[in-house]
């Protein structure tokens, strides 16, 4: 006589499988997210190595954040040292171009290049890597977006000075990145000149709802793509994932502040300047 599973036995097996799936699927998702974050961390470390190699060929001078005269950013400048376009995009966010920029050039190839180098997922700490005078008197001169590029050894604490950080906007285009990033407290700092700051987004860079804004994260162009944290690299070449609160160390920044209200209160803990 052939034996078969009873209905109760089948229901028990199905219930066990469902329980195991409920337990394992989130683990698989977390593992996938962790793998993507590791890949992004590798990206930013390699890009930082590229800027270091560039400095080695330019009398220890870091790249210019943006050259308006040649319509190039540091992303374009360091590409010969990386030879990899895709490394400029984080695995946690698909490449996303600003559609309104696609009409700037008539050559489709230049359309792509323009978007690729201006809306990368890794932003340069331009206000300090290209340090302008505190009164902004030399900002934007000779085609520079900020001031002249600094020496790679100019920072007092290279291991505690951010060079690059993951960038991105909030909805509607949350994958649009930025070639530059700024630290909190820039507007009120007595040694800095910048275009934007952390807080409730209102200006062109952080409050433009047409192509993605930062009204949710309120952290300038920094994009916390991994469990509330963002991958950052430092002038000495190392990279790590830091929460927004850690990136705002030394300031009074918190969610809810208006843009421009953040202030540096402890320079010894601040990660963005050269002191």
Cα separation, 153 vs 68, in Å, equals 26
Q: Is the pLDDT of residue 107 over 60?
A: no
Q: Is the pLDDT of residue 271 over 60?
A: yes
Kindly indicate the confidence band of residue 43, based on its pLDDT and cuts at 50, 70 and 90.
Answer: very high
pLDDT of residue 124: 96
- Write the pLDDT tens digit of every residue in 114-125: 677 888 899 999
User: Model pTM?
Assistant: 0.84
Cα separation, 47 vs 89, in Å, equals 11
Average pLDDT over residues 62-85: 90
123 bridge partner residues: 165
Which range among 4-8, 106-110, 193-197 has the greatest average pLDDT?
A: 193-197
- Write the pLDDT tens digit of every residue in 149-174: 999 999 999 999 999 999 988 877 77
Cα separation, 166 vs 183, in Å, equals 12
241 bridge partner residues: 231
CA distances from 60 to 53, 165, 266 (A): 9, 21, 29
Cα separation, 168 vs 162, in Å, equals 17
Residue with tokens 């991958």: 231
Residue pair 247/114 in contact (Cβ under 8 Å)? The answer is no
Between these two residues, 71 and 160, which has the higher pLDDT value?
160
């Amino acid at each position: 006589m052939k034996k078969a599973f009873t209905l109760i036995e089948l229901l028990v097996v199905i219930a066990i499988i469902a329980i195991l799936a409920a337990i394992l699927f989130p683990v698989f998702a977390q593992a996938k997210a962790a793998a993507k974050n590791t890949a992004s961390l590798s990206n930013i470390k390699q890009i930082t190595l590229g800027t270091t190699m560039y400095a080695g060929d330019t009398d220890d001078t870091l790249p210019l954040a943006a050259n308006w005269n040649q319509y190039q950013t540091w992303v374009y400048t360091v590409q010969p040292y990386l030879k990899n376009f895709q490394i400029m995009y984080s695995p946690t966010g698909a490449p996303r171009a600003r559609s309104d920029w696609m009409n700037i050039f008539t050559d489709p190839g230049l359309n792509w290049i323009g978007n690729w180098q201006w809306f990368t997922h890794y932003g340069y700490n331009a206000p300090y890597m290209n340090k302008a005078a505190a009164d902004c008197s030399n900002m934007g001169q000779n085609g520079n977006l900020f001031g002249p590029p600094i020496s790679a050894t100019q920072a007092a604490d290279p291991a505690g000075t951010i060079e690059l950080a993951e960038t991105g906007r909030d909805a509607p285009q949350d994958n649009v990145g930025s070639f530059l990033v700024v630290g909190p407290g820039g507007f009120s700092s007595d040694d800095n000149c910048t275009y934007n700051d952390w807080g409730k987004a209102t200006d062109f860079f952080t409050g433009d709802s047409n192509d993605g804004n930062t009204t949710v994260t309120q952290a300038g162009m920094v994009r916390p793509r991994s469990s509330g944290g963002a991958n950052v690299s430092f002038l000495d070449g190392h990279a790590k994932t830091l929460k927004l609160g850690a990136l705002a160390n030394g300031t009074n920044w918190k969610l809810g502040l208006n843009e421009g209200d953040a202030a540096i209160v402890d320079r010894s803990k601040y990660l963005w300047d050269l002191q």
